[in-house]
Amino acid sequence: MTESTHLHPQEPSSTQHNKSIFNLPNNLTIARILMIPLFVAIAYWPPAMGIGMPAISDNVIAKVGMSDFSDSLLRHLLLTGVFILAAITDWLDGYFARKLNVVSAFGRFLDPVADKLMVAAALIVLVQWHPNIIMAIAAIVIISREIAVSALREWMAELGKSTSVAVSYVGKLKTTFQMIAITVLLLNWQSLEMIGYVLMVAAVILTLWSMMIYLKAAWPYLKQSD
């Protein structure tokens, strides 16, 4: 869920090969993908726990443990926990890839895919729970940016110019705001809702900014005739 080109760096000459693609970093990435159906299942099943419940107010939080509130609150806590756990595995797979000096093409491919899938799943759930213009625009901008930048990186890699669209500081900052905003909104606590929206708007602005940086870097090649 970070800007993850650094998680599985290009293989140096001294890098050790692991014969199996199922090494520790890749297993963590696979686990992150498997968390997505779990995340969706928690969001919508069982129906008795409520779907798209209103934001939990402070007085409700104070009554945690009461049967009429515990199910709805439990759903949000579980969703937030799964999302945070996925973010932790995202950091851990990069850490162990560097620590164990384990690099694989499979890992370089799968890690950014896993990040984008989890974020997209969380945004889609949030759009249903918060059907307003802010969440709709945020989901469209963030998901569209990931698709556009992924296509741009693939095209630049074919030209041998992948370093021209390397991860930027703004991209990392965008990811930080995005992850915190999603976490806060998944909690669905009324007292934190405005903070979540402010962080999400900031994430959208940074998302557009970072995309402009990538496009600016690639523009000299994009405007060339075949």
Query: How many residues does the structure list for the chain?
Result: 226
Residue 191, pLDDT above cutoff 50: yes
Of 139, 130, 140, the C-alpha closest to 188 is: 130
Q: How confident is the model at residue 10 (pLDDT cuts 50, 70, 90)?
A: very low
Q: What angle do CA 89, 24, 116 make, to 5 degrees?
A: 40
What angle do helix axes 105-129 and 24-44 make, rounded to 10 degrees? Answer: 20
**176 or 10: which leads in pLDDT:** 176
Task: Categorize the per-residue pLDDT at 163 as very low, low, confident or very high, splitting at 50, 70 and 90.
Answer: low
Mean local confidence (pLDDT), 29-34: 92
What does the pLDDT look like over 81-127, one tens digit per residue?
999 999 999 888 888 888 888 877 777 788 888 889 999 999 999 99
